[in-house]
Structure 1
Amino acid sequence: MKLVSWNVNGLRACVNKGFLDYFKETDADLFCLQETKLQDGQIELELGEAYTPYWNYAIKKGYSGTAVFSKRKPLSVRYGMEADQEPEGRIITLEFDGFHLVTVYTPNAKRDLSRLPYRLEWEDRFRNYLVQLDALKPVIVCGDLNVAHQEIDIKNAKANRNNSGFTPEERDKMTRLLDAGFIDTFRHFYPDREDAYTWWSNMPKVRERNVGWRIDYFLASARLAPSLLDARIDAHVLGSDHCPIVLETKEIGV
């Protein structure tokens, strides 16, 4: 089974930069998007008959939003953690026979950290949500988690120590999530790999010099470890300030 996750930073713009070429080439079973930045009816995609799309739009136009394109028919689909408290379109959960798939676009604390208190409260609710799902069946979580967890996950750790996405508080929330029974699948396979990033600033020459952050993840319930085959970062793929990430697994729960 192949799963892909990509923060496309505006799907309409990404489509104009080769999105569909990559989508067709990867031929994923489940293809997850974050930061789609569109509303219902604003895009027509030729995904092929094999895929069914699931969209979670933000109320605010041109903001946030998630999607999953699935070859597999889910048992159920859920949008957000609490339907009346999720206006930003940040979460989609698909339930399958053997696992839950959750794609997420975690709120950014903002450059001035003005949204950090909300971010930390959101993290606690999200962790509790995943733990509840995990009690029912294993979980695969993917998306832009907006945090570089360890110093190995960011090019300039010392200079960014108290910046949004690398504050001690955000990193601690990631640690607590993993300690709740989840695996960072990339580090599961490549615990010491350096210079492996998924996001680069739009400043000149930053991506060319690979001055990046690893803030996009596939996490999995720890008991899925025997089913994991590989995790990779497709850093060569352009079209967004993030690149796609890929998880390959055995069939789960079949």
Structure 2
Amino acid sequence: MKPAWLQRLNAMFQSMPWLRRIVLAVIALMLLPYLLVFVYALPFTRPVSTLMLSELVLFRGYDRRWVSLDDISPALVRSVMMSEDGQFCMHAGVDWRQMRGVVQDALDGEATRGASTIPMQTAKNLFLWNGRSFIRKGLELPLALGTDFVLSKRRIMEIYLNIAEWGPGIYGAEAAAQHHFKTSAAKLSSRQAALLAVSLPNPFTRVASKPSRGMQRLAAIVERRARNSGAYIKCIYD
């Protein structure tokens, strides 16, 4: 015999068939990203971000030129990793130690720091939206774990560096290198790579080609960390 709550649910769906269709559509929408991750594991696929799709919907267009990870300067890979997610090769999509610290800060009423890993940012860029909310973060965590489980670290980094936003309508390392420094992603210098890395949190106020003194100081720190990254990047360059 079915539980009472299940009987009531069935009765509600029978009396309101449109509600059942909405629920099924929401479930399908939530499952779609997990299916797309398997598609994105194929090396010939070139995923786009939700922001890139929004540019098309708003008839603005964007500049994105997909390049393989082998055609991106190792200096940029190292700089982005050291700036955004130093434990990228060690965790499984979520840095739980950092996450616990953020939760504790929030519970203590203190200002929270960022704890988004590269898999989390990749999942957010591919499937979710910008902005800070518990709903988005709740959706982002399992997506990051699934992304890290299905995709290799090299593939995650390749996708991330090809969908990251580096200015208005500028997406991916190649378009960013051309726009900011008139060079290719493969030929970025260590300082140019560091400037691009430190601009990622907000490329609208942190312009890599017009860095403030604060950006220059941050870039110098990231550049030094990138040179000494060693074991931290073994999952990319083993």
- Range of TM-score over shorter length: under 0.3
TM-score, with structure 1 as normaliser: 0.26
| Larger RCO, structures 1/2 (Cα 8 Å, 6+ apart) | 2
Tell which structure's C-alpha radius of gyration is larger. 2
TM-score, with structure 2 as normaliser: 0.27
Q: Which has the higher helix share?
A: 2
Q: Which has the higher strand share?
A: 1
